[in-house]
Amino acid sequence: DTGVSQDPRHKITKRGQNVTFRCDPISEHNRLYWYRQTLGQGPEFLTYFQNEAQLEKSRLLSDRFSAERPKGSFSTLEIQRTEQGDSAMYLCASSESGTKYNEQFFGPGTRLTVL
């Protein structure tokens, strides 16, 4: 296993279009996180899955955002009716559960540009 992978790496879209990103976590990890990073800022938490259950969504996540992890493996993040303010790097991370604090392994991110 080579780590967390994300697809696509870059996405350019026009305002109003829908986009979907995919994250494949490390295979034995049952925790999966989505973060968003804008220029000059650190990553901001968006949502978290434990297996297939979505356990928390940030207030940052508007109704246009939806995330799924249907079989507790890969996850998708969809943004509907994109806006220019959605332009950012979208990062996925995964970790093992079992102990309280586990290192989160990050993927390379998907850079979204909304024109």
Partner 1 sequence: DQQVKQNSPSLSVQEGRISILNCDYTNSMFDYFLWYKKYPAEGPTFLISISSIKDKNEDGRFTVFLNKSAKHLSLHIVPSQPGDSAVYFCAATTDSWGKLQFGAGTQVVVTP
Contact between 98 and 51 under an 8 Å Cβ cutoff? The reply is no
d(CA 80, CA 49): 20
CB of 14 to partner 1, least distance (A): 24
Q: Which of 98, 94, 32, 90 is nearest to 61 (CA)?
A: 90
CB of 3 to partner 1, least distance (A): 9
Residue number, 80 or 106, with CB nearest to partner 1? 106
Per CB under 8 A, residues contacting partner 1 are 4, 31, 33, 35, 40-45, 48, 50, 55-56, 91, 93, 95, 97, 100-109
CB of 64 to partner 1, least distance (A): 21
CB of 48 to partner 1, least distance (A): 6
Residue number, 57 or 66, with CB nearest to partner 1? 57
The greatest distance separating any two alpha carbons of the chain, rounded to the nearest whole angstrom, comes to 43
d(CA 32, CA 74): 9
Cis amide prior to 8 (ω within 30 degrees): yes
Residue number, 19 or 43, with CB nearest to partner 1? 43
Residue number, 75 or 104, with CB nearest to partner 1? 104
Cα atoms found within 13 Å of the Cα of residue 42, Cβ hemisphere only? 1
